[in-house]
Amino acid sequence: MLSREDNELLCRIGPGTPMGNLMRQYWVPAGLSSELPEPDGPPLRVRLLGENLLAFRVSSGAVGLIRENCPHRGANLFYGRNGGEGLRCVYHGWKFDVAGRCVDMPNEPEESNFKQKVRAVTYPCVERGGLFWAYLGPRETTPPLPELEPTMLADSTIQVYQRECNWVQALEGDIDTCHTVYLHLGSVTPEEAPPGTWARYALNDRAPRYQVADMDFGVMYGAYRPAEADSDYWRIANFLFPFYAMTPTGVLGLEVRVRAWVPMDDEHTLAITIGRGAQGTRKAGRQVVGPTETLPNTSDWYGRFRCVANACNDYLIDRKAQQTVSYTGISSIFLQDQAVTESMGPIYDRTNERLGSSDAMVIRTRKRLIDAARALRDSGKVPPGVDDPSVYAVRSGGVVLPRDADWIEATRELRRAWVEHPELSRAVLGGLPAV
């Protein structure tokens, strides 16, 4: 369990909080480039790290991110006119470029230099991998973008969903591998998975053992269980500062995928999954699962990427299916995760929890985050990965190793990004879901 003080430090990400200040050291994926489809189009409301911001694409194609209130008298710039390399407040016509400079102040005398003294709060933005990224931190010269492999590939796909809970409990679901054989495969017996497949190994032993290691990028874990005679099946996954997870999906060496748990505020989170190649329908045990259905986006602060199935309709749980073909009765893997993490409440009180050996990765990740936030607060120490984007060039996934192998050394090459492994096969998965 955590103390109340540590839980608050871990979860709160608003301006001026220790964890919020840590988040602001990094580039943050703020939304899809396709949400700003054309130059001079309407601004987009973006709730990010507890701030109300507006994203807009100017005539040259550059993206700006500005606080919602005009510096003049606070009118909301959402209603502004976007055109000619800036966003113009409709109240008095003041116009701001992507750097926050006031480039026009038509209600002041022509000879006045007042506009040169006025700045709106804006944040630098760049685009990569179908996303626009924002830097909300204090540096005049921004740090480099992280070298996350799937964000740098032409064939990557993106899925985005909103989750109505704190970012930490959402992230912790991704770094907890043992829930897979219960929440997602609880109704599947070992005999339903083909012999010699990873699904068979996982279902034969639903209580894996864990190894956890601190890494330059954050924390890595390996969960292992018996495979064949003298070998173990390992699921190796990563937490990467400040909010990324690479789950043990697929084959280590072939899988190229990362998920960002981006805090909109303390109680709302965007799950942005970027992966190489198609992320289509697949079979998990007796269930066929596909992408989660979302509602049409609206223009309110929480109107983006909301799931059709949600807490208000009990995630469309099917109690009959729960008794026959589904452990949960909830249709998709993402929704199963969403139901349990949101059911904890907006911010779970971790003074009430009781952790076991299977929570080793969760415990270590919390410690790394809390220690890094305190080090930044108390001594100004730059958090991991901010100035070294190469540490993010890693992969995760499953692998079978000899029982006496050193799991870190034996997988070093397979965990490197940008390396092709044509000798590896995806056939060993045998229905283990992408979680």
Render each residue's pLDDT in the chain as its tens digit; 435 residues: 899 999 999 999 999 999 999 999 999 999 999 999 999 999 999 999 999 999 999 999 999 999 999 999 999 999 999 999 999 999 999 999 999 999 999 999 999 999 999 999 999 999 999 999 999 999 999 999 999 999 999 999 999 999 999 999 999 999 998 899 899 888 889 999 999 999 999 999 999 999 999 999 999 999 999 999 899 999 999 999 999 999 998 999 999 999 999 999 999 999 999 999 655 555 555 555 567 999 999 999 999 999 999 999 999 999 999 999 899 999 889 999 999 999 999 999 999 999 999 999 999 999 999 999 999 999 999 999 999 999 999 999 999 999 999 999 999 999 999 999 988 877 677 666 655
CB 255 within 8 A of CB 397: yes
Q: Rounded to whole angstroms, how far apart are CA atoms 68 and 118?
A: 15
pLDDT of residue 435: 54
Specify the 3-state DSSP secondary structure of 234. strand
Instruction: Pinpoint the alpha helices (H) of 12-71.
Output: 18-23
Phi, psi dihedrals of residue 343, rounded to the nearest 5°: -65, -15
* CA-based radius of gyration for the chain: 23
pLDDT of residue 268: 98
pLDDT of residue 321: 93
**Any bridge partners for residue 214, and if so which?**
219
Torsion of CA 364, 370, 376, 379, to 10 degrees: -90
Q: Rounded to whole angstroms, how far apart are CA atoms 58 and 215?
A: 40
Q: How many CB atoms neighbour CB 31 within 10 A?
A: 24
DSSP state of 49: T
Q: Long-range contacts for 293-301 (Cβ within 8 Å, ≥24 apart)?
A: 294/161, 297/35, 299/45, 299/78, 300/45, 301/45, 301/47, 301/52
pLDDT of residue 397: 96
Q: Rounded to whole angstroms, how far apart are CA atoms 215 and 235?
A: 17
pTM of the model: 0.95
CB 145 within 8 A of CB 135: no
Q: How many CB atoms neighbour CB 381 within 10 A?
A: 12
pLDDT of residue 431: 64
